Chains A and B, each alone.
Chain A
Amino acid sequence: MPRIAVIDDEPEFLDLLPPLLAGSGVQVDCARTPEAFFALLAQARYDAVLVDFWLGGETSLGVLDRIAAEAGDLPVILVSGGGGGHSAEMAEALGHVSGVAVFLHKPFRREELLRALDACAQP
């Protein structure tokens, strides 16, 4: 069963993810902070991690760097709805410069997320 982690400081988003993926066979672990995610990563193997572009009022680019350094082969799906002076177009470009596998524009549908997970599973 594919297993993914999600890092987002918005509890509403974290609450939405498990029901969104219900019945898909994907197991979801949620983390409200990068530290919580890295604690999960020390104990489990993930097929992908969803990271919000904004975490705690800052961009998540530093978190992406840490994921690349500590789990270089873990595919990252970056998500953003824009805001904070950076459009989603800008967030997508910053994500790809930082090596993310897929970008998703919030709000996204179940099918888009499943397609993104499929893309992450490709060798």
Chain B
Amino acid sequence: MNEITQNGFDRSDLAVALLMERIVRGAYDTRQSHEIQPLQWSILRYLARYPAEGRTLTRIATYLDLTHAPISRALRTLRGRGLVSTEANPADARSSILSLTEAGWAALELDPIRKIAQRVAALPEPDRDAVKRALRVMAVRQDPEDT
């Protein structure tokens, strides 16, 4: 029997959380994933999706809701690994346009969240819709301890 604890969840809820954690951790459990940190993956995804005029440090920082400092550090690492290149911004001399290099595009082919997306895509349509609905609610719900 699943007894509700004083925290408001039962053993099966904890099991769901554990399975989610295992699926995500498993996706990141590759050599390539260890070399690229989650924030760096977010930046690579951004650079792949957005046109040149939006590929500046400031735009990436506002998109990820972070300050310039962590983005700047992550970009330094990505440039050092040859995954991101920089060129002058013709519209603004104070900023640079960032782009993925060929190696950056190749790295994105190994993006860990693709493994999770494949698992979602393999579900029967009703289960796929149910996962999307449930995750949407979970993602929007504010943690009472955070408010």
- Seen from chain A, the residues whose Cβ lies within 8 Å of a Cβ on chain B are 59, 61, 81-83, 85-90, 93-94, 97-98, 105, 109, 111-112, 115
Contact = CB atoms under 8 A, between A and B. Distances in A.
Contacts of B53: 109, 111-112
A97 B146 CA distance: 24
A112 B54 contact: yes
B51 A112 contact: yes
A83 B50 CA distance: 20
B64 A94 contact: no
Question: Chain B binding site: helix, strand, loop or mixed by DSSP?
Answer: helix
Contact of A88 (B65, B136, B139, B146): B65
Given A89-B42, A112-B51, A94 B139 contact: yes
B135 A97 contact: yes
Contact of A87 (B51, B54, B64, B136): B64
How many chain B residues sit at the interface, stated as a range, is 10 to 19
B140 A87 contact: no
A83 B63 CA distance: 10
Nearest to B46: A89
A90 B46 CA distance: 12
A82 to B, nearest CB: 5
Contacts of B135: 97
Contacts of A112: 51, 53-54
A83 B62 CA distance: 9
Contacts of B42: 89
